[in-house]
């Protein structure tokens, strides 16, 4: 079946502009995660959605970052007033929920802030 | 102390070798253990997951968990150049606290 998809695959933006990154999770998965991965670094947790519960935003690095998940499916990560340090690969993952916790990742969006 | 520790490598082995990749974790509440493979410029790909101590085998891959020593391993038999990637371990407490290791970069030389 279809895996997690993300768009765009690459995004180049000027410092100070806003960007929106989209994630389409695997159909039926109740949990959705956003991570950031800088060059040669590990995964940095950003935000977690589980069903209709309030999201866990504890990983968001600043109030310039926000995310929403509409209808328990598609999610959008928004970065306002982008800075050069926001340049990274943004990865989305979904998980079946219930008694299954393994995460399935999308290909990522490579964001470059110039 | 980081919650999950992993030697970043790089680890280089000849084709056909047995590869051992290891992680340690500090939180005894972790119950679910995963290994991911990440090729350059790609998202992590789930290789194996388990929630019990002992071994789990899938083809050339064996995941081993020792909860008493908080140690998890991934063994790759008959390694191939196509196995060259970064391997990430991950642990979780029933979806409450998902933590990834920093990854080990593996190169299998033909």
A33 part of a folded domain: yes
Contacts with B101 from chain A: Cβ below 8 Å: 42
> Within a domain: residue A113?
no
Are residues A101 and B46, on separate chains, in Cβ contact within 8 Å? Answer: no
Q: How many CB pairs under 8 A join A and B?
A: 46
Q: What is the DSSP string of B59-106?
A: TTEEEEEETTTTEEEEEESS--GGG-EEEEEEEESTTS--EE---EEE
CB of B34 within 8 Å of a chain A CB? The answer is: yes
Q: Does A53 map to a domain? A: yes
Q: Give the Cα separation of B106 and A60 in Å (integer).
A: 30
pLDDT digits (tens, 9 = 90+) for B32-86: 899 999 999 899 999 998 888 889 999 999 999 999 999 999 999 999 999 999 9
**CB–CB of A105 and B98 under 8 A?**
no
Distance from CA of B48 to the nearest CA of A (A): 9
Per-residue pLDDT of A11-21, as tens digits, reads: 999 999 999 99
Contacts of residue A39, defined as CB under 8 A and 6 or more positions apart, other chains included, come to A88
Structural domain containing residue A59: 5-100
Kindly state whether residue A74 falls inside one of the protein's structural domains: yes
Chain B stretch 51-110, residues whose beta carbon is closer than 8 A to a beta carbon of chain A: 88, 90, 92, 94-95, 98, 100-103
Residue of A nearest to B43 (CA): A107
Domain contains A106: no
Quick: pLDDT tens for A41-69. Answer: 788 899 999 888 889 898 999 999 999 99
The count of domains in chain A is 1
Q: CB-CB: which of B43, B92, B101 is closest to A101?
A: B92
A103 touches chain B (CB under 8 A): yes
Cβ contact A106–B43 (<8 Å): yes
- Cβ-Cβ contacts under 8 Å, B98 against chain A: 33, 45, 48, 101, 103
Residue B16 in contact with residue B101, Cβ under 8 Å? Answer: no
> Based on the structure, what is the number of domains in chain B?
1
pLDDT at B96: 66
Confidence at residue A13, expressed as pLDDT on a 0 to 100 scale: 98
The boundaries of the domain holding residue B59 are 4-109
Q: Is A95 on the interface with B (CB under 8 A)?
A: yes
Output the domain CATH number for residue A31: 2.60.40.10
Q: What is the CATH number of the domain that holds B66?
A: 2.60.40.10
- The per-residue pLDDT for range B3-12, each reduced to its tens digit, is 899 988 899 9
Contacts of A95 in chain B (CB under 8 A): 95
Residue A70 falls within a domain, yes or no?
A: yes
Convert B6-15 to b/e letters by CB count within 10 Å (16 or more is b).
beeeeeebee
């Amino acid at each position: 079946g279809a895996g997690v998809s993300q768009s765009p695959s690459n995004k180049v933006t000027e410092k100070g502009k806003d960007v929106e990154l989209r994630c389409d999770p695997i159909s039926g998965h109740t949990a959705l995660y956003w991570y950031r991965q800088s060059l040669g670094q590990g995964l940095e947790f950003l935000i977690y959605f589980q069903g209709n519960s309030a999201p866990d935003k504890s990983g968001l690095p600043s109030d310039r970052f926000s995310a929403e998940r509409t209808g328990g499916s598609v999610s959008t990560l928004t970065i306002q007033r982008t800075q050069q340090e926001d340049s990274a690969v943004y990865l989305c993952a979904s998980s079946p929920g219930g008694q299954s916790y393994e995460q399935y990742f999308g290909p990522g969006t490579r964001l470059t802030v110039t | 102390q980081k919650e999950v520790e992993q030697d970043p490598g790089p680890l280089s082995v000849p084709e056909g070798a047995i590869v051992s990749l290891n992680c340690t974790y500090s939180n005894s509440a972790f119950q679910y253990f995963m290994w991911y493979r990440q090729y350059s410029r790609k998202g992590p790909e789930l290789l194996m997951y388990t929630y019990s101590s002992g071994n789990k085998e899938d083809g050339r891959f064996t995941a081993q968990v020792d909860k008493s020593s908080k140690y998890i391993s991934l063994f790759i038999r008959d390694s191939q150049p196509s196995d060259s990637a970064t391997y990430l371990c991950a642990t979780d407490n029933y979806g409450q606290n998902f933590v990834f290791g920093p990854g080990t970069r593996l190169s299998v030389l033909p």
